[in-house]
Structure 1
Amino acid sequence: MSDHAETTTLAAEAAVAATPDKGESLLARHVAAFFESPLAVAGLVTLLAMVLLALLAPFIAPQNPYDLSQLDIMDGTLAPGAKSLAGYTFWLGTDEQGRDMLSGILYGLRISLGVGAVSTVIACALGASIGVVAAYAGGRVDTLVMRVVDLQLSFPAILVALVLLAVFGRGVDKVVIALVIVQWAYYARTVRGSALVERRREYIEAARCLALPKNRVVFRHLLPNCLPPLIVVATVQVAHSIALESTLSFLGVGVPVTEPSLGMLIAKGYDYLLSGKYWISTFPGVALVLAIVAINLVGDRLRDVLNPRLSR
Structure 2
Amino acid sequence: MSDFAVKDTAPSKAPPKGERLLLRQMGDLIANPEAAVGLIILFILILTAVLAGWIAPQNPYDLMQLDIMDNMLPPGSQLGSGVTAWLGTDDQGRDMLSAIMYGMRVSLGVGIASVLIASFIGAFIGVLSAYIGGRFDALVMRIVDLQLSFPSILIALVLLTVFGRGLDKVILSLVFVQWAYYARTVRGSALVEKSKDYIAAARCLELPRHRILIRHMLPNCIPPLIVVSTVQIAHAITLESTLSFLGVGVPVTQPSLGMLIASGYDFLLSGNYWVSTYPGVALVLIVVAINLVGDRLRVVLNPRFTQ
TM-score with structure 1 length normalisation?
A: 0.91
Which residue is equivalent to 2:278? Answer: 283
CA distance in 2, matches of 1:229, 1:88: 47
Paired residue for 1:108, among 96, 103, 127? Answer: 103
Matches within 5 A, 1:85-96: 85-96=80-91
Which residue is equivalent to 1:208? Answer: 203
Shift in CA distance, 192/24, structure 1 to aligned 2, threshold 3 Å: closer
Deviation at 1:26, TM superposition (A): 1.1
CA distance in 2, matches of 1:251, 1:24: 46
Instruction: Name segments (4+ residues, structure 1) moved above 6 Å.
Output: 21-24
- Bigger Cα displacement from structure 2, 68-77 vs 245-254: 68-77
Structure 1 residue ranges without an equivalent (≥5): 1-20
CA distance in 2, matches of 1:94, 1:77: 5
Deviation at 1:71, TM superposition (A): 1.6
- The total of aligned residue pairs comes to 292
CA distance in 1, matches of 2:64, 2:253: 12
String of CA shifts for 1:273-304, please: whole Å, max 9, x gaps.
Answer: 10110100011000000000000000000000
2:67 and 2:80 in contact (8 A); partners too? no
CA distance in 2, matches of 1:251, 1:22: 50
Paired residue for 1:234, among 209, 229, 237? Answer: 229
Deviation at 1:43, TM superposition (A): 0.2
CA RMSD in angstroms comes to: 1.4
String of CA shifts for 1:144-169, please: whole Å, max 9, x gaps.
Answer: 10011011101000000001011111
CA distance in 1, matches of 2:105, 2:83: 24
CA distance in 2, matches of 1:33, 1:83: 46
Shift in CA distance, 222/282, structure 1 to aligned 2, threshold 3 Å: same
CA distance in 1, matches of 2:116, 2:132: 24
CA distance in 2, matches of 1:300, 1:86: 45
Paired residue for 1:265, among 260, 265, 272? Answer: 260
Deviation at 1:309, TM superposition (A): 2.2
Paired residue for 2:193, among 198, 202, 206? Answer: 198
TM-score with structure 2 length normalisation?
A: 0.93
Q: Percent of aligned pairs with the same residue?
A: 69
CA distance in 2, matches of 1:296, 1:61: 27
Secondary structure of the residue aligned to 2:234 is: helix
Shift in CA distance, 29/88, structure 1 to aligned 2, threshold 3 Å: closer
Deviation at 1:66, TM superposition (A): 1.7
Shift in CA distance, 124/64, structure 1 to aligned 2, threshold 3 Å: same
Is residue 62 from structure 1 mapped to residue 61 from structure 2 by the alignment?
Answer: no
Structure 1 counterpart of 2:86, one-letter code:
W
Secondary structure of the residue aligned to 2:57 is: coil
